Amino acid sequence: MTALITADGLLHEIDEKDLLVLDVQYTLTGDGPRLYTGGHVPGAPFVDLDTVLAGPAGEGGRHPLPDVETLQAGLRAAGLDDDSRVVVYDQGTSLGAARAWWVLRWAGVEDVRVLDGGLAAWRAAGGTVVTEPVSPEPGTVHLEADQLVALDAEDAVATAKLGVLVDARSPERYRGEEEPIDPVAGHIPGAVNVPMSDLVQPDGRLRPADELRERFAREDIDEVTVVGTYCGSGITAAHTALALHEAGVDADVYIGSWSEWITDPSRPIATGACPLPSSCPR
């Protein structure tokens, strides 16, 4: 079953009482609040990725999982009840929205969909955009963590050996040629590279399911493969998990990702275009 909703679909459902739309506009430089005040879907409160959908940066990476009590308080403040149906969106890439989709399901919220193409698609479909902040009645949702598997570093290693570990970063970062964010470059040994850019259309919407299946099949991934995803800090990795879901593949997410992997200097680092140096053609 798809986890996506189109802008036209949301226009049709927007007034349903049990539907809660959450704005998760996000950039690495923390521009989410500014983007929200610049325009959002009517009735949609803002949920901050850095403070609600992630814990403090540290040894667990730049965006570790949040404390479930903090997450619950943030989602109650946004008006979430136990019986709410949720649609999450960001400005267009679905990076922030996919992180919300994954974290909410990890915490036990079952009915979560992503607005494919985000606010840009909503505008293009004729949806109204407002600038006034939303202050909903507090919700009563009760969350319970660990409803999805969050891989740790050891799990990531095991996944690379038993199945396929997908690195969602750009090829340059995967190969270790450049690292604009983290202090160490390279990739987890055994991981294959499927950059996010391979999975999306120019307007930010995910590619059709058959195209996603074809791309993942190039890495020997199908519906029975053991799959894990990672990126720099567990955001793009959630987006890749969403794309895999749309392709009919269940995937676990290494939330700490590269930013957590490199906190332990004893963990090995691979560079180059091959998952392992020994796997490169001679």
Contact assessment for residue 192 and residue 219, using Cβ atoms and an 8 Å cutoff: yes
Task: Please state the length of the chain.
Answer: 282
Q: Which candidate, 76, 93, 88, places its Cα nearest to that of 28?
A: 93
SS3 label, residue 212: helix
Question: From CA 80, how far away is CA 24, in angstroms rounded?
Answer: 14
Q: Which candidate, 104, 125, 102, 100, places its Cα nearest to that of 6?
A: 125
| Cα torsion 59, 233, 252, 215: sign | negative
36 by Cβ neighbours in 10 Å (0-12 / 13-18 / 19+) ranks as buried
Question: From CA 95, how far away is CA 251, in angstroms rounded?
Answer: 16
DSSP string, 238-267: HHHHHHHHHTT---EEESSHHHHHTTSTTS
280 is catalytic: no
The contacts of residue 282 (CB under 8 Å, 6+ apart) are none
Residue in 231, 235, 242, 262 annotated catalytic = 231
Give the residue numbers marked as catalytic: 231
